[in-house]
C-alpha cells in the first residue's frame, strides 16, 4: 500500500464522518453566513476545536474577499490551502546525528509502541539505534519495550523495575557512544498523578543527556492518542511545563473520527506533528505530510 493510500485508509473514520457534509457544503449555493455556519459545524464535529475553527474561518473569509472568490469549488481549494499552511507553520526538526530523542506521554497513549515503530523506521533508514528503557515505574514497561526492540532488531539498555531512570539513561548514553550509535530513543514514565515526581525525573534525565552527550542533537517528543480528541491538546500543555516539546507523534488516527485534532494541535500549540500512527503494523508510523493529510481528509488522490 502506498503512502497516500495508508494515510487515506488511516483517516477513514474521520473522513466517513465529514465527507458527506463537505461534499454537500461545496456543491452549489451562495457564499453566505449559512455556508460559513455549516462549515463551522463540520470542522468542530471533526474535533478541529473551536479556537482553531474560528481562525480557519477568519482566514477563509479574508481570502474570499481579497481574491474575489465566487464559487464554492474555489472556496474548497482555498480552505485546503489554509489548512496546509496552518499545519506547516511549525517546522519539523531537521535531524543531525548522533541524535537523542526523549519520548514522553501519559500511560495508555501507545508510547512504547510508537518508540518501537520509530526505532524500526530509523533502522530502515540505515541508522543504528539503541533504546533506553527509562520507564522503570510501570510494571513490565521494560519487557514491553524489549519485545519492540526485538521486532525492530535494535539494541536496548534496561535496569530492574524501580531503578533510577536517569541511571538507565546514563548507561544507555555510554553504550551508544562506545558503539557510535546514530540514534538513542528514550522511553519515559507516563504518570501524571504525581506531577512533581515526574517533573523531577524528566529534569534529571535532561541534565544527564546534556552533561554526558553534549555533541548529540537532543529532541523531546510527546506521544498523543488521537482518539482522545481535545484532551490531547491539554496533555501537551502539561508536559510542555516540564520539557520543551519539539514535536508530536500522534497515534491511533485509524481508530478515531476525531482526526481534525491534528489541526487543533498545530493551531493552538505551535508544535509540529512529526509522525502519525495509521495502523497496528510495525511500519505503520508515517512521516507527517500536511498536503497528504489534507488531501486524504477531502478524499482526493494526489496526481
User: pLDDT by residue (tens digit) across 232-260?
Assistant: 777 887 788 788 899 999 888 777 666 78
- Over residues 7-24, the mean pLDDT reads 70
pLDDT tops 50 at residue 303: no
From CA 42, how far away is CA 34, in angstroms rounded? 12
Which pLDDT score is estimated for 256? 66
Residue 215 exposure: Cα atoms within 13 Å on the Cβ side: 9
From CA 166, how far away is CA 204, in angstroms rounded? 6
40, three cell numbers:
463551522
Q: Is 44 exposed, middle or buried (0-12, 13-18, 19+ CB in 10 A)?
A: middle
pLDDT tops 90 at residue 261: no
Which pLDDT score is estimated for 66? 92
- In the chain, the percentage of residues whose pLDDT exceeds 90 is 49
pTM for this prediction: 0.88
Work out the pLDDT band at 95, boundaries 50, 70, 90. very high
Which pLDDT score is estimated for 2? 55
For 37, 145, 294, the CA distances from 150, given in Å and listed in that order, are 51, 9, 35
Work out the pLDDT band at 211, boundaries 50, 70, 90. very high
Residue 291 exposure: Cα atoms within 13 Å on the Cβ side: 3
Rounded to 5°, angle at Cα 299 from 297 and 300 = 115
From CA 217, how far away is CA 295, in angstroms rounded? 33
Question: Are 187 and 132 contacting, i.e. CB atoms less than 8 angstroms apart?
Answer: yes
From CA 110, how far away is CA 116, in angstroms rounded? 10
Q: Which comes out higher in pLDDT, residue 278 or 67?
A: 67
Residue appearing with cell numbers 535532561? 206
Work out the pLDDT band at 179, boundaries 50, 70, 90. very high
Q: Which residues pair with 184 in a beta bridge?
A: 100, 130
Three-state secondary structure call for residue 142 = helix
Rg of the Cα atoms in the chain: 21
For 9, 20, 66, 241, 271, the CA distances from 70, given in Å and listed in that order, are 33, 22, 11, 45, 34
pLDDT tops 70 at residue 3: no
- Over residues 132-153, the mean pLDDT reads 93
pLDDT tops 50 at residue 302: no
Q: Which comes out higher in pLDDT, residue 271 or 177?
A: 177
Enclosing H/E stretch for 152:
helix 141-152
Q: What single string gives the DSSP state of each residue in 29-95?
A: S--SHHHHHHHHHHHHHTT--HHHHHHHHHHHHHHHHHTT--SHHHHHHHHHHHHHHHHHSSPPP--
Which pLDDT score is estimated for 96? 97
Which pLDDT score is estimated for 47? 83
21, three cell numbers:
457534509
Average per-residue pLDDT for the chain:
87
Amino acid at each position: 500500500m502506498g503512502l497516500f493510500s495508508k494515510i487515506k485508509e488511516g483517516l477513514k473514520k474521520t473522513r466517513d464522518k465529514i465527507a458527506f457534509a463537505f461534499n454537500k457544503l461545496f456543491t452549489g449555493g451562495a457564499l453566505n453566513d449559512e455556508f460559513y455556519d455549516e462549515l463551522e459545524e463540520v470542522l468542530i464535529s471533526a474535533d478541529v476545536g473551536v479556537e482553531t475553527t474560528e481562525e480557519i474561518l477568519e482566514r477563509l473569509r479574508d481570502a474570499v474577499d481579497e481574491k474575489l472568490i465566487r464559487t464554492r469549488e474555489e472556496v474548497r481549494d482555498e480552505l485546503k490551502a489554509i489548512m496546509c499552511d496552518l499545519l506547516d507553520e511549525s517546522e519539523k526538526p531537521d535531524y543531525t546525528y548522533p541524535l537523542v530523542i526523549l519520548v514522553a506521554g501519559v500511560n495508555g497513549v501507545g508510547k512504547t509502541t510508537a518508540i518501537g515503530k520509530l526505532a524500526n523506521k530509523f533502522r530502515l533508514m540505515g541508522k543504528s539505534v539503541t533504546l533506553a528503557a527509562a520507564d522503570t515505574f510501570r510494571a513490565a514497561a521494560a519487557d514491553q519495550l524489549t519485545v519492540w526492540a526485538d521486532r525492530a532488531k535494535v539494541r536496548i539498555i534496561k535496569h530492574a523495575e524501580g531503578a533510577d531512570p536517569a541511571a538507565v539513561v546514563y548507561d544507555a548514553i555510554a553504550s551508544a557512544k562506545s558503539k557510535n550509535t546514530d540514534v538513542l530513543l528514550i522511553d519515559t514514565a507516563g504518570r501524571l498523578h504525581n506531577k512533581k515526581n515526574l517533573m523531577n525525573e524528566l529534569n534529571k534525565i535532561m541534565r544527564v543527556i546534556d552533561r554526558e552527550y553534549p555533541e548529540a542533537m537532543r529532541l523531546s517528543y510527546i506521544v498523543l492518542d488521537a482518539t482522545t480528541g481535545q484532551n490531547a491538546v491539554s496533555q501537551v500543555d502539561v508536559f510542555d511545563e516540564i520539557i520543551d516539546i519539539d514535536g508530536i507523534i500522534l497515534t491511533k488516527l485509524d481508530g478515531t473520527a476525531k482526526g481534525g485534532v491534528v489541526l487543533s494541535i498545530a493551531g493552538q500549540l505551535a508544535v509540529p506533528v512529526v509522525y502519525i500512527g495509521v495502523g497496528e503494523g510495525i511500519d505503520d508510523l508515517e512521516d507527517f505530510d500536511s498536503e497528504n493529510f489534507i488531501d486524504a481528509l477531502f478524499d482526493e488522490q494526489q496526481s
